[in-house]
Structure 1
Amino acid sequence: MNAGQASTDWRPSFLIIGAVKAATTWLLEQLQVNPHLYMPDPEPHYFSSEYHRGESYYRSFFDTYATTGRLLGEKSADYLAHPQAAQRLAAMVPNARLVVQFRNPIERAYSDYKMLYRRGTVRLAPEDYLTSRDSSQPRFLNDGLYAEHMRRWLDYFPQEQLHAILFDDVKQDAKEVVDSVSRHLGVDPVFDLGQSTKRANDGSERFLPMPFRKALSPFKGLVAPLRGSTWFETARDIFASEIAYPPLSADLRERLSDFYAEDIADLGAMLGRDLTHWTNGGTDHAVLRNQVAAR
């Protein structure tokens, strides 16, 4: 389907469903450059945590653009791992095109931990959360069981409606990633080189101290347009600093490799991709963190 055939229905025709901390925000921002597509900035989370808010809540993200001839889509990275999202989504938009982006689950789990650590949600060492699915933050481990989640999605959507890409692919050929996703959606690709090298919410970024962030939280919307300006960034840098995260030890990394090994093998078989580098000591964060975002 080309852009001229786009439906005037307000319901989205495509969705990025995950995974959390796998550079899905980078992909969102690349697709937002395409004039044939519309995707809202905030994640609706409608088919996961916000389903109780009803269809009118979800519709509010798209109504304004339903008659523009653009394909409507959204990104909510928690859909992939949510136990009910696939069934709910299939009931509303059974023909939707889906995009899923995978990242080495070990790096994904640690990146997720770091995000909640800098928010102050977790304060203990990685070992307290990444050694058992029964921890106080089971999402750290569970969200990386990609093959387990994909089997659930394939119960509701045929294989041809799902397009999978890897975090690794973005580093290797970011343009081809955007081109392949665009082909899956049925639109001519538009690639923004500036977006391709942009970092978004990288774990190595400098942050304001937690008390400052909490105090400024109510004004986040007002401050957003000022980000990037010279005076704003200069003022921010006076107080911001890199966060010293508790490290992911070699022993814990090895245990995580064992934990994910079977699921990684299953995912590799599903995708027809060799993913053994995810558990054989290879790592993605060192080579990629200066290239793309993981949000």
Structure 2
Amino acid sequence: MKKIDVFICGVQKGGTSSLHSRMTDHPRIAAPTRKELHFFDDELTVDWDDPDYRPIDAFFDSTAKMWIDSTPIYCFWPPAMERIATYNPGAKIIVVFRDPIERAWSHWCMEHARGLERQGFSEAIRSETSRIGMALSREARIYSYVGRGYYHGQAERILSLFPREQVLFLQAEDVWQDDDFRMREIMDFLGLDAPPNGTAAHLMRRGDLEDYRAPSAEDFRFLRDRYLADVREFSALTGIDVSRWPTVTGRRHQA
């Protein structure tokens, strides 16, 4: 049975759309009929005691190419990575990380623009635990501004399920800059030739507010206090250079 070969598993608001667009330009990679399949985080229609993987086939039109699923929540959603490992233990896993404070702000801007968030950013990051309730709830998908930014545990879970040689950790800045060296690294990781010439547009979706505001100094300190130790552990585990991340430098980006 043909299986998905590559998973771009996150993080949300980290540049996965740009990376997916660039990678699916490659003639040997099959783009699914939609970018985010949301199969392995499906808590409603899939029986995870005896999963039926046949619906996945409908998203792809060629068994001769490498199949890719770019669903950012997989990294964060607790059971998803274990389900992927059961489905295809030989899969290649790519995860793109972004400074967690910037990621949280961008996430809030997106939900605000969609009309799903009525609380201000300050209130939302402080009331998150009480709003979410159950770990696998609908609210956990929407309001997890702070929770999604604890990267060390997410990376640790991935490495407990997949050999290190099957996992590629990247920074969002590398994707947005569309660096050819980085794309060659990705293609080498997948065992493919270099991608076609040309660049993919920066496809990150931003709410209007993100373009001219930034978290307040108080909110920045609130999040930095929660993230700094985790970010340092994450860096030691993955080798990602976080030295320029605002969480580490303590310098927030100004509008």
TM range (shorter): 0.7 to 0.9
Q: Given the alignment of the two structures, is residue 153 of structure 1 paired with residue 185 of structure 2, yes or no? A: no
For the residues of structure 1 that align with 2:206 and 2:183, how far apart are their CA atoms?
20
Structure 2 partner of 1:221: none
Q: 1:73-101, CA deviations, whole angstroms, 9 ceiling, x for partnerless residues?
A: 11111000010011111111000011000
Q: 1:85-144, CA deviations, whole angstroms, 9 ceiling, x for partnerless residues?
A: 111111110000110000001111111111110111011210111125414255111111
For the residues of structure 2 that align with 1:78 and 1:125, how far apart are their CA atoms?
23
- Note closer, same or farther for the CA distance 1:244–1:76 as it changes in structure 2 (3 Å cut): closer
For the residues of structure 1 that align with 2:210 and 2:80, how far apart are their CA atoms?
34
For the residues of structure 2 that align with 1:253 and 1:181, how far apart are their CA atoms?
33
Q: Given the alignment of the two structures, is residue 20 of structure 1 paired with residue 19 of structure 2, yes or no? A: no
Structure 2 partner of 1:48: 41
- SS at 2:145's partner residue? helix
Q: Which amino acid in the other structure matches residue 24 of structure 1?
A: T
Structure 2 partner of 1:131: 126
For the residues of structure 2 that align with 1:132 and 1:153, how far apart are their CA atoms?
28
Q: 1:174-232, CA deviations, whole angstroms, 9 ceiling, x for partnerless residues?
A: 2222211111111012155341x43442334xxxxxxxxxxxxxxxxxxxxxxxxxxxx
- Alignment check: 8 A CA contact 2:128 2:146 kept: yes
For the residues of structure 2 that align with 1:259 and 1:51, how far apart are their CA atoms?
32
For the residues of structure 1 that align with 2:254 and 2:181, how far apart are their CA atoms?
21
For the residues of structure 1 that align with 2:253 and 2:157, how far apart are their CA atoms?
27
Of 55, 62, 65, 2:62 maps to 65
Q: Which amino acid in the other structure matches residue 14 of structure 2?
A: A
Q: 1:131-174, CA deviations, whole angstroms, 9 ceiling, x for partnerless residues?
A: 25414255111111111111111221111111010012235562
Name structure 1 gaps, 5 residues minimum. Answer: 1-8, 205-241, 287-295
- Alignment check: 8 A CA contact 2:7 2:69 kept: yes
State which drifts further: 50-59 or 248-257. 50-59
Structure 1 partner of 2:49: none
- Alignment check: 8 A CA contact 2:108 2:145 kept: yes
Structure 2 partner of 1:6: none
Give TM-score, length-normalised by structure 1.
0.73
Identity %: 27
Bigger radius of gyration: 1
Q: 1:222-255, CA deviations, whole angstroms, 9 ceiling, x for partnerless residues?
A: xxxxxxxxxxxxxxxxxxxx78887521110111
